[in-house]
């Protein structure tokens, strides 16, 4: 199950897109990676520009992450997946 924290007004919009979000995440991570999405309606803190350095990964983890995100065609999606992967692989 994937838990998403969503601002109040956006929760309705995300609710309508849950099927597509599930489909896209499962296509990227592998079939059946998530079966359900649970929306938590709560304030989301705004991200500050330059809020922190990206976590440093070892050479092997860098290569693994690069191989995983290389399949994404959209540059913004690729950047977001890279940030997510760095956080996951660094244990943050």
The per-residue pLDDT for range 17-75, each reduced to its tens digit, is: 999 988 888 888 887 888 888 998 888 877 655 556 666 788 888 888 889 888 888 88
Tell me, yes or no, whether 39 and 62 share the same domain: no
**Is residue 51 assigned to a domain?**
no
Domain total of the chain? 2
* Structural domain contains residue 61: yes
Structural domain harbouring 81: 56-92
pTM assigned to the model: 0.47
Residues 25 and 2 in one domain: yes
pLDDT score of 87: 83
Is position 88 within any domain? yes
Output the CA–CA distances (angstroms, integers) from residue 36 to 1, 15, 22, 87, in the order listed: 5, 12, 7, 22
Residues 58 and 90 sit within 8 Å (Cβ to Cβ): no
42: tokens are 């709560």
With respect to residue 48, please indicate whether it lies within any of the assigned structural domains. no
User: 6 has which bridge partners?
Assistant: 41
On whether residue 63 sits in a domain, the answer given is: yes
Q: Is residue 49 part of a domain?
A: no
């Amino acid at each position: 199950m994937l838990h998403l924290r969503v601002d109040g007004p956006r929760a309705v919009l995300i609710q309508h897109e849950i099927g597509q979000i599930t489909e896209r995440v499962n296509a990227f991570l592998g079939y059946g990676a998530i079966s359900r999405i649970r929306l938590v309606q709560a304030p989301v803190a705004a991200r500050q520009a330059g809020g922190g350095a990206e976590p440093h990964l070892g050479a092997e983890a860098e290569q693994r992450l690069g191989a995983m995100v290389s399949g994404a065609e959209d540059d913004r999606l690729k950047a977001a997946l890279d940030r997510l992967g760095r956080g996951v692989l660094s244990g943050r």
